[in-house]
Each structure stands twice: as structure tokens, then as C-alpha cells.
Amino acid sequence: MEVIIKKDYDDVCSESAAIIEEAWRRKNNLVLGFATGKTPLGLYEKLVEFYRQGRIDFSAVTAFNLDEYVGLEASHPQSFAHYMDHHLFRHVNIRKEDIFRLSGRPPDIDEHCRAYERKVRDSGGIDIQILGIGKNGHIAFNEPGSSLSSRTRLKILTPETVAAIRPFFQDEKEVPRFCLTMGIGTILETKTALLLASGKDKAGIIARAVEGPLTASVPASALQLHARAIFVIDEAAASKLTKRDYYRWAYENKDRALDPLKIIPLKTKG
Ligand code: F6R
């Protein structure tokens, strides 16, 4: 697991966009997994900017959305399908046929989820999965207690998550209680998991996910099992990590690892 600590939210988004740009340079037909929510908005703005500057071309990129509310049409302003179109897809040259999303109203939920997993596999697997983290430790909508080997499926949202999304819906009857989400097992198979977090209200859960025990009670802790999980977080979200100095040092020195003479000594407190 790599923990990259940046000064603030804007730097978190710039660093994450740079990681994606670098990956795209190596593989133009990148397969990207996209999360919604507040946190990745700045990253998507940067990706649009990079596209306009000719730094990333999306014509060979394949996209998978991470989750979707059950009951909402793709055209609903609060659907994750609408969010991704609005904040990224409509601004770049990704081909419509290369965008895969979970439907909020599939005729057969189980079959739809199995087909989604097959699509991910047929695409060669997700190269970079962008993730946020819920204050209760959820990744995608794998709420606490989710099996660490779960696959794409229907999940029941917790009361906290329902309370967090309620303000975005005008009609109480529309507030989703269920969602379809990639599973933790699905996320663990992605080649890189790129988790972004910002703000002090995420500090406690980031500390539990990164330095706490591996537990289904904190679904994000499952990323400790991921072959390449990168947490890009700001100072506020990092404030409860005990090994902050080490993470910073490791990040500053990683390009120098092949030349030990250039390694800057680690300054530890006390
Ligand atoms: C959304 C998703 C969620 C969010 C999480 C954090 O697609 O997968 O896990 O990433 O709820 O949301 P924000 O970024 O709004 O704090």
C-alpha cells in the first residue's frame, strides 16, 4: 500500500490526475473504473483539462462505473450514470460504446451483476479503479459488514448513508435504500486501486483503513490486501495516521530507490 500525503484537496486531485496521465502514456487503451461523490469531482475537472490540453486522449479508454442507486433511471440527475456523463464523459472523447454502467432498473438484478463482472473480465480487467471512502469505511457501496470477497451485487444502504444522500433528493419517496455495487472482491482484482480522501472528517476512517486491522467492519481496510493500492490524501485526512513521516519519506525517495546514495535520511520525531 502506498500513502501519498498532499497539502490540500487541489493537490490530491493534481497528483491523482498525474497518476492517470502517466498510466495512459504507457497504455492508451486504459480501462478505468470511476467513483462518484464529492471527492473525485476535482480529479474529473483535471482530467477534462488534460484532455483539452491534449495530454490525455480518451478515444481508446474503456470506463466502468463503480455503483448505481436502485430505482433511478440513468437520466435522473442523482444517478451515478448522470453524474459521470455530466462531470466527465460528455467533456471528453470517450466512445459511448466503451462506457459500461450498472443500471438502476435492470430486469434481472442477479443476471445484470453477473454480466457486469463478465464485461470487466472481457475488457482485460480494470487498470485503475478510482475510489472515495465513506465516513463509515465503505468503498463503492460495500457497507460495513460486506464480505471481503463480495462480487457485484445488490446492497442495502445503511441508515448513515441514506441520511448522507437524503439532501440530494427533493421527494422522500425517491431517496434510494438499495444500490448495485462492485464487490470488495471485484475491487481487489483491479490492477491499481486509487483512493482519494480529503478533509479532517475523513481522518479517523483513513487511519482505521490504513493502519487498523483488516476487518469487514471497515471495508476500506480490505485494500491492505490489494496488490497496488494508492491512497492519495490531504494533510487533514492524514492527520490521524501514526506513520505520516514514513509515508512522506517513502514517497519522496521512491524514485531514488535504484540509487541508494541519493536517498535523503528519514527524520523521525523523538
Ligand atoms: C460513490 C462511492 C462512494 C463514495 C463515498 C465517499 O460512487 O462509491 O463509496 O466514494 O461515499 O463519498 P464522498 O466523496 O462524497 O465523501
* Residue 78 CA, ligand 1 centroid: distance in Å: 13
- Cα dihedral 221, 242, 36, 183, rounded to 10, equals 0
User: 103 with 69: CB under 8 angstroms?
Assistant: no
Predicted pLDDT at 270: 47
Domain 2-262 has CATH 3.40.50.1360: yes
What pLDDT, in 10s, does the model give residues 247-270?
999 999 887 766 666 656 666 654
Residues 131 and 232: their CA atoms lie apart, in Å, by 10
* pLDDT tens for each residue of 171-215: 999 999 999 999 999 999 999 999 999 999 999 999 999 999 999
Using the mean position of ligand 1's atoms as its centre, give its distance from the Cα of residue 49 in Å: 22
The model's pLDDT over 30-69, given as tens digits with 9 standing for 90+, comes to 999 999 999 999 999 999 999 999 999 999 999 999 999 9
- pLDDT interval class at 142 (50, 70, 90): very high
Q: If you ran DSSP here, which 8-state letter would residue 102 be given? A: -
pLDDT of 255 reads 77
Tell me which residue has its CA closest to atom 4 in ligand 1: 132
pTM strictly above 0.75: yes
Mean pLDDT of the chain: 95
Distance of CA 249 from the midpoint of ligand 1 (Å) = 29
- Cα distances (Å, whole numbers) of residue 38 to 13, 131, 165, 269: 12, 11, 11, 34
Rounded to 10 deg, the angle between the 80-87 and 41-52 helix axes is: 40
- DSSP per-residue codes, 162-199: HHHHGGG-SSGGGS-SEEEE--HHHHHTSSEEEEEE-S
Q: Which residues are catalytic?
A: 67, 136, 138, 143
- Using the atom order of ligand 1, give the atom closest to the CA of residue 80: 7
Indicate the DSSP class of residue 142. Answer: B
> Which residue intervals of 67-211 are DSSP H helices?
80-87, 109-122, 159-165, 184-188, 203-211
- Write out residues with Cβ below 6 Å of ligand 1: 35-39, 66-67, 80, 132-134, 138-141
* Rounded Cα distance, 119 and 145, in Å: 26
133 CA → ligand 1 middle, Å: 5
**Residue among 32, 84, 102, 141 to mutate when testing ligand 1 (max atoms within 8 A of CB):** 141
